[in-house]
Amino acid sequence: MEQSLYEKVGGEEAIAKVVDYFYHQLVLKDDSVNHYFEGTDMEKQIRHQTKFISFALGGPHQYSGKSMEKAHEGMNIQPEHFNAIVTHLHDALTHYGVSESDIGQALEKVGSLRDDIQLH
């Protein structure tokens, strides 16, 4: 039986490290997107994002948060902002040694949400 992406990257504990790095070392230092997180409880955001990415990569937990469209409503996220976040996710996964083929699969799943996240 083939491992899920969730298992390949090391499960929720490893994903939590990736998400923490993603926000603290990349997203929050990027002036083109960090304004979206002003006033955000980052510990809560990191926990939420860890659960979402775990679910998206085939993990055992069901995602029970808001729909992507509702969660990003009114944020006016432009294509360049979405692309910056995808690049940061790629770089965070690379930082933790995830293979390019597995990163490609993960980003394909994230990319499928583009229309629900942008321009609402």
Q: Is 120 annotated as a binding residue?
A: no
CA angle 110, 98, 87 (to 5 degrees): 45
User: Is 24 in a helix, a strand, or coil?
Assistant: helix
Establish whether 72 is an annotated binding residue.
Answer: yes
Q: What is the DSSP letter of 26?
A: I
If we measure between CA atoms, which residue out of 6, 26, 119, 104 comes closest to residue 73? Answer: 119
CA distance 50 to 65: 12
Beta-carbon count within 10 A of 29 CB: 11
Binding site listing: 48, 72
Binding site listing for heme: 48, 72
